[in-house]
């Protein structure tokens, strides 16, 4: 089972990660640095043409997204 997700900023894909396995545990990570202005929208979405629509495995895996403010303008 494979899954590909994208990080989107104001409607434009700024990064993606694809992870899958052949019956084994699998982990995928990605680090993206971007500048945000007040009012910008950021979200994670499925790539609709890739893999399944699962965010979590059948065995109860975890999905995590974090964001951090490094410096304010």
Number of domains in the chain: 1
Q: Residue 71 is part of which domain span?
A: 1-73
**This prediction's pTM:** 0.73
pLDDT at residue 21 tops 90? no
Task: Please write the tens of the pLDDT for every residue from 46-70.
Answer: 886 655 555 555 666 666 788 888 8
Which of the four pLDDT bands, split at 50, 70 and 90, describes residue 10?
very high
Residue carrying the six token digits 């890739």: 50
């Amino acid at each position: 089972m494979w899954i590909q997700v994208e990080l989107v900023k104001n409607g434009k894909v700024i990064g993606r990660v694809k992870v899958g396995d052949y019956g084994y545990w699998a982990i995928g990570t990605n680090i993206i640095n971007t500048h945000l202005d007040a009012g910008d929208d950021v979200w994670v979405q499925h790539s609709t043409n890739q893999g399944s629509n699962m965010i979590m495995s059948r065995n109860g895996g975890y999905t995590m997204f974090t964001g951090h403010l490094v410096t304010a303008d």
